[in-house]
Amino acid sequence: MSVTRRDFVRTSVLGAVATGIGAHGAASGPPNGNGAQGHASANDMYKRPIIITAHNGFNYIDDAYAFLKNGGDTLDAALRVVKGPEDDPKDTSVGLGGLPNEEGVVELDSCCMHGPTRRAGSVGGVRNIKNVSLVAKAVMEQTGHVMLVGEGAERFAVAMGFPRENLLTDHSRKVWLLWKEYHSTTDWWGPALADPHWQPPQEQPEGKPQSELWQERVRRLEKHAANLGIVPELRRDAVYKVLFPPTGTIHCSALNEKGEISGCTTTSGLAYKLPGRVGDSPIIGAGCYTDQDVGSAGATGSGEENIKVAGAHTIIENMRHGMSPKEAGMDALQRIVRNYNHDMKKLQFVDMIYYILRRDGAYAGVSLWTGYEGGHPHQIVVHDGTRRAEDATALFQGFSRDFPPDPKVPAEVQKQFQ
Ligand code: ASP
């Protein structure tokens, strides 16, 4: 199924500002004019080796590219990229320092696929082990299974020699506490009546502009953050993560000169999720899918929506049937749109970014929206001899909102976080 002009016209009639196809033009494209924004033609030559990843892979892709160029395995190259954010306590969407579930426990998901041997491994809901992407690889190599979850996955990792460690950093713990306090008007979390900092719930003063009310809310949160001991330079970040619960995750696909291709995805999942919730990232065919004959694709964004369209697998199948990487990704996005009957009131709370690498080196980054509310435009990071970040091609121009929905944060309040 291709993305027809009629589909796009209908979508825009239903509320989208623009389709985004071609919107970014060649300016952000790679030097060879192919890739993220380009369409493939049978005669196009693409650069190999090549690695594509999410924005948080930027600092790690150089090393992985050198490894790949020196003959390193494609999956090992991709794992080198994603291990960076897993090890980084400051990346609050992956591995160590990932924001926890609603009970304050970090639970990680990951999967990988090795194209040349057509194998896969995956782990879901893993606690206390930082490098779950490597655990997924160990499941692939050391067991007859494809997926392990929860306690069993943790015990397997320990048996394989992975150290158990506390993944909840002090900062993530405090951000989680701040989030609990912000959302708890009816429970026992937060300062008690007897606390000198306790304040009665604010009445909605009639006629007060929304932006003023929000400024007050932000000030109150900053005060709470100070009471929790969050250092001044991290307070704004903490408030941001409460008002706009961050999504993150990292996917990486790598292709070598021989045409071998692999991919992996790793995440701490949605911040403040229900304990036991597993997203799309460890689901083979949703968060990642690699087929040695076609290519590799991965996803970050609204995991539940991606599972329902088997995003990465859909993209690979679309390419198998002749679509370019960008067309294949746009079609997967259209399936998410269709699942909501094009209802923009709901779709404003959904976002998805697909990272797509075809076996010949053609690639694309596509997203449902231009970026997350309060954030920057979605980007993919590419290395084919030159490292660069490129804007993803958005289906809808505009910024998606976080779910569960809070009253909309006015633009002038959002600006102070940018
Ligand atoms: N896809 C991830 C999940 O649903 C979250 C994200 O990418 O931000 O767990």
380: pLDDT strictly greater than 90: yes
164: pLDDT strictly greater than 90: yes
Pocket of ligand 1 (CB under 6 A): 247-249, 267, 269-270, 279-281, 300-301, 303
Over the chain, what HEC string results? CCCCHHHHHHHHHCCCCCCCCCCCCHHHCCCCCCHHHCCCCCCCCCCCCEEEEEHHHHHHHHHHHHHHHCCCCHHHHHHHHHHHHHHCCCCCCCCCCCCCCCCCCCCEEEEEEECCCCEEEEEEEECCCCCHHHHHHHHHHHCCCCEEEHHHHHHHHHHCCCCCCCCCCHHHHHHHHHHHHHCCCCCCCCCCCCCCCCCCCCCCCCCCCHHHHHHHHHHHHHHHHHHCCCCHHHHHHHHHHHHCCCCCCEEEEEECCCCCEEEEEEECCCCCCCCCCCCCCCCECCCEEEECCCEEEEEEECHHHHHHCCHHHHHHHHHHCCCCHHHHHHHHHHHHHHHCCCCHHHHCCCCEEEEEEECCCCEEEEEEEEEECCCCECEEEEECCCEEEEECEEEEEEEECCCCCCCCCCHHHHHCCC
From CA 77, how far away is CA 59, in angstroms rounded?
Answer: 14
CA of 112 to the centre of ligand 1 (A): 15
pLDDT digits (tens, 9 = 90+) for 346-366: 999 899 999 999 999 999 999
304: pLDDT strictly greater than 70: yes
pLDDT at 241: 84
133, 149, 302: residue to mutate for ligand 1 pocket, most atoms within 8 A of CB? 302
Decide: 332 and 299 in contact? Cβ < 8 Å.
Answer: no
pLDDT digits (tens, 9 = 90+) for 226-278: 989 999 999 988 888 888 777 779 999 999 999 999 999 999 999 999 999 99
Catalytic residues: 249
From CA 225, how far away is CA 217, in angstroms rounded?
Answer: 12
Which atom of ligand 1 sits closest to the CA of residue 277?
9
Mean pLDDT, to the nearest integer, of 150-163?
98
Atom 4 (ligand 1) nearest CA: 303
Which residue is listed with tokens 């941001």?
A: 240
- For 52, 95, 125, 282, 312, the CA distances from 265, given in Å and listed in that order, are 12, 11, 14, 7, 11
pLDDT digits (tens, 9 = 90+) for 105-132: 999 999 999 999 999 999 999 999 999 9
pLDDT band of 206, cuts 50, 70, 90: low
CA of 75 to the centre of ligand 1 (A): 21
CA of 26 to the centre of ligand 1 (A): 29
Mean pLDDT, all residues of the chain: 86
Atom 9 (ligand 1) nearest CA: 269
**CATH classification (class only), 36-166+246-400:** alpha beta
Bin 190: left if φ > 0, else alpha if -120 < ψ < 50, else beta. left
42: pLDDT strictly greater than 70: no
93, 94, 280: residue to mutate for ligand 1 pocket, most atoms within 8 A of CB? 280
CA of 278 to the centre of ligand 1 (A): 9
Which atom of ligand 1 sits closest to the CA of residue 304?
4
pLDDT band of 414, cuts 50, 70, 90: low
pLDDT at 295: 98
Decide: 131 and 83 in contact? Cβ < 8 Å.
Answer: yes
CA 42 to chain centre: 31
- β partners of residue 255: 50, 261
Which atom of ligand 1 sits closest to the CA of residue 301?
7
CA of 109 to the centre of ligand 1 (A): 9
> Whole-prediction pTM value?
0.84
Find all residues with CB under 8 Å of 183, minimum gap 6, and list them. Answer: none
Which residue is listed with tokens 């320990």?
A: 158
CA of 251 to the centre of ligand 1 (A): 10
Which atom of ligand 1 sits closest to the CA of residue 268?
9
Which atom of ligand 1 sits closest to the CA of residue 247?
8
